[in-house]
């Protein structure tokens, strides 16, 4: 069974670097769609890990701990990319002079 093990420190570091670079690219070009693609990608990875954990056969039971670590890391990356999407959407709305998708975090963005 193939497992995209993101609990490996090198893979985790590379994924974090790519995520940060894509978020800053989205901010520089003022496109929230780029950070939305990052969020969508992490949601797909999360769904794949959940499907692997739920359909795990007896011969692969030793992978349960690895899959649970991967799920925890997936949730963290989804949270980071979701807040990044909201942030870049707010920046894009201010630059283009249009209404932001969600203004519920204005108090937070002013402190950032």
**Least reliable range by pLDDT among 8-12, 32-36, 108-112:** 108-112
Residue 55 belongs to some domain of the structure: yes
Distance from C-alpha of 98 to C-alpha of 89, rounded to nearest angstrom: 10
Residue 93 lies in a domain: yes
Calpha distance 58→81 (Å, rounded): 34
Total domains present in the chain:
1
Q: Is residue 54 part of a domain?
A: yes
Per-residue pLDDT at 102:
60
Helix (H, G, I), strand (E, B) or coil at 103: coil
H/E stretch holding 75 = helix 64-96
- Do residues 49 and 71 touch, judged by C-beta distance below 8 A? yes
Is 38 part of a structural domain of the chain? yes
SS3 96: helix
With respect to residue 32, please indicate whether it lies within any of the assigned structural domains: yes
The range of the structural domain enclosing residue 82 comes to: 26-111
Whether residue 12 lies inside any domain: the answer is: no
pLDDT tops 70 at residue 65: yes
Q: How many whole angstroms separate alpha carbon 55 and alpha carbon 112?
A: 42
In a domain, 77, yes or no: yes
Residue 99 covered by a domain: yes
How much is the pTM?
A: 0.82
Tens-place pLDDT, residues 87-106:
898 888 888 887 666 666 66
Assign 76 a pLDDT band (cuts: 50, 70, 90).
Answer: very high
Across the range 27-53, mean pLDDT stands at 92
Residue 112, pLDDT > 80, answer: no
Q: Express as a percent the part of the chain with pLDDT over 70.
A: 87
The C-alpha atoms of residue 3 and residue 41 are separated, in whole angstroms, by 16
């Amino acid at each position: 069974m193939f497992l995209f093990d993101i609990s490996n420190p090198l893979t985790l570091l590379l994924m974090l670097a790519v995520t940060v670079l894509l978020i800053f690219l989205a901010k520089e070009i003022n496109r929230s769609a780029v950070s939305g693609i990052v969020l969508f990608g992490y949601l797909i990875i999360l769904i794949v890990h959940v499907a692997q954990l739920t359909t795990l056969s007896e011969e692969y039971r030793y992978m349960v701990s690895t899959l649970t670590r991967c799920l925890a890391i997936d949730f963290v990356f989804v949270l980071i990319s979701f807040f990044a999407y909201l942030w870049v959407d707010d920046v894009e709305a201010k630059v283009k002079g249009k209404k932001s998708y969600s203004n519920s975090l204005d108090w937070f963005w002013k402190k950032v």
